[in-house]
Amino acid sequence: MAGNIIMTYLLLLDSQREESYRESTDVFLKMAYAQNKERLAYIENFELKDVGFFKMA
């Protein structure tokens, strides 16, 4: 999640300096938003009992 936010910020800075980065920034922003929304939904629906599935036997 943090990587998407940082990458979007850097692309936004580049697009302010160079117009050719504008479309790439828009596409990446939409993708990053969708991925972050997906991950947030996973975190919100995670329950303490699910931790056992991640422990190694």
Give the mean pLDDT per block of 10 residues along the chain (57 residues).
90 94 93 94 88 71
The reported pLDDT for the residue numbered 1 is 77
Contact 29, 42 (CB under 8 A): no
The reported pLDDT for the residue numbered 39 is 92
CA dihedral for 51, 54, 37, 25, sign (positive or negative): positive
The reported pLDDT for the residue numbered 51 is 83
Model confidence, pTM: 0.68
Query: Among candidates 16, 55, 10, 7, which has minimal Cα distance to 35?
Result: 7
